[in-house]
Amino acid sequence: MLAQAPKSSAVVEIERLGFKWQDEPQFELGKLSTDRRVQVRESEHYAPKAQVAQYAVQMKETVFPPIIVTANDWLVDGNTRVGGYEVNKVKFGHALVLDVEYGKSAKVDADLHALAATLNQQGGQRLTPAEARSVAVTLVERGWKNDAIGRATGVKHGVVNNIRREIAAHEKFAKVGFKDAKKLGPSALRTFGMEPQISLNDVPFKKLVELSVDANLGPAEVRELAGEMKKTGSDAGMITFIDNKRAEMSERIREHGLMGNGKPPASSQLRRHLGYINAHAAIPSVLVERSPAAMEEHLRACQEAVQVLTTVITAQEKLIND
């Protein structure tokens, strides 16, 4: 008994997604249209002219893999091959016809995009990072797991996780009525899709986002403020806290509004660094350098810091008392 021929990679992917299919050696290519393509590529990458010309020459000498189409004649995979057939004025070509129609179900459409992405990534003309990411967004929204998304698109787990955070942030923005997400950079946007920010109740969350935009807060600052808000234990406490922070940052907000920068003032950055030192107030001995090679340098750095802080304390007391 002859061994069964191994399935092609296209058939493996088709069946992995649960699609049934029929083999049509003489599919009528005239039924296809450039308006009915399950596209995962940007328009300029649909069927590169140079590659179409190359395929047209090769098709006269060798058999190409079948194209993939849906039951309602949407082309899933094979744009360049179809272009080669057209150059050679071929009217019929080998196709695998799926048992589903495009445009009738969001789930089916997402799976078809995943199939198209997977087959592109296995071929010679890979998806660009932007194209692969776009497909990954669709698959995240459909509830796919990271491993499955990586298989389909080649997008790394870290990028997929960032996509999940961005989607979570946008959903929360819509819920609280925040409409200026475009003013947030990519890192800041993702930060709002993470804990502890994402679990803040609606009003405190919106106030934190608005302060982030107005003061141009960095991700670390957002996380720190969210953590402090959580410690207040109530929405009222969170709102009071963030309102006080807005008052403290009034100069930074003004500067950002005028010049578009608005980095944290040196005084604010100092408080953050002092927070690390003060966190060890109970056991300050852990801050003592034990390595003989670094002891003298450590001592000099501490002495210089004390001198600077002594000057700052004197100036700060004068401002408070004046």
DSSP letter at 40?
Answer: -
DSSP letter at 39?
Answer: -
- Per-residue pLDDT, 257: 81
98 beta partners: 21
Q: pLDDT band for 5, please (50, 70, 90 cuts).
A: low
CA distance 95 to 115: 15
Q: Mean pLDDT throughout 181-207?
A: 93
Q: Over 60: is that where the pLDDT of 6 sits? A: yes
Please enumerate in sequence order all residues whose Cβ is within 8 A of that of 177, keeping only pairs 6 or more positions apart, or say none.
206
Contact present, 97 and 21 (Cβ < 8 Å):
yes
- What tens digit of pLDDT does each residue of 107-165 get? 899 899 889 888 888 765 677 888 888 889 988 988 889 998 888 888 999 999 999 99
Mean pLDDT of all residues belonging to the chain: 88
CA distance 164 to 300: 46
Share of the chain above pLDDT 70, in %: 93
CA distance 127 to 121: 6
Note if the bond before 196 is cis, omega within 30 degrees.
yes
Q: pLDDT band for 294, please (50, 70, 90 cuts).
A: confident
Q: Over 70: is that where the pLDDT of 176 sits? A: yes
- Per-residue pLDDT, 278: 87
- What tens digit of pLDDT does each residue of 14-31 get? 998 999 999 999 999 999
Q: Mean pLDDT throughout 169-173?
A: 95
- What tens digit of pLDDT does each residue of 42-89 get? 665 566 788 889 989 999 999 999 999 999 999 999 988 999 999 999
Q: Mean pLDDT throughout 156-180?
A: 94
Q: Over 60: is that where the pLDDT of 262 sits? A: no
User: 79-87 vs 49-59: helix axis angle to the nearest 10?
Assistant: 60
- Per-residue pLDDT, 265: 64
Q: Over 70: is that where the pLDDT of 302 sits? A: yes
- Per-residue pLDDT, 255: 82
**Of residues 267 and 312, more confidently modeled:** 312
Phi and psi (nearest 5°) for 270? -60, -45
CA distance 40 to 108: 15
- Per-residue pLDDT, 254: 87
- What number of residues does the chain have? 322
DSSP letter at 3?
Answer: P
CA distance 198 to 171: 10
- Per-residue pLDDT, 35: 86
User: 129-141 vs 106-122: helix axis angle to the nearest 10?
Assistant: 150
Question: How far, in Å, are 226, 228, 263 from residue 217 at the CA level?
Answer: 12, 15, 8
Contact present, 181 and 170 (Cβ < 8 Å):
yes
CA distance 94 to 130: 31
- Per-residue pLDDT, 203: 97
Burial class of residue 153, CB neighbours in 10 A (0-12, 13-18, 19+):
buried
- Per-residue pLDDT, 1: 47
The residue written with tokens 């008052």 in the block is 247
Share of the chain above pLDDT 90, in %: 50
- Per-residue pLDDT, 87: 94
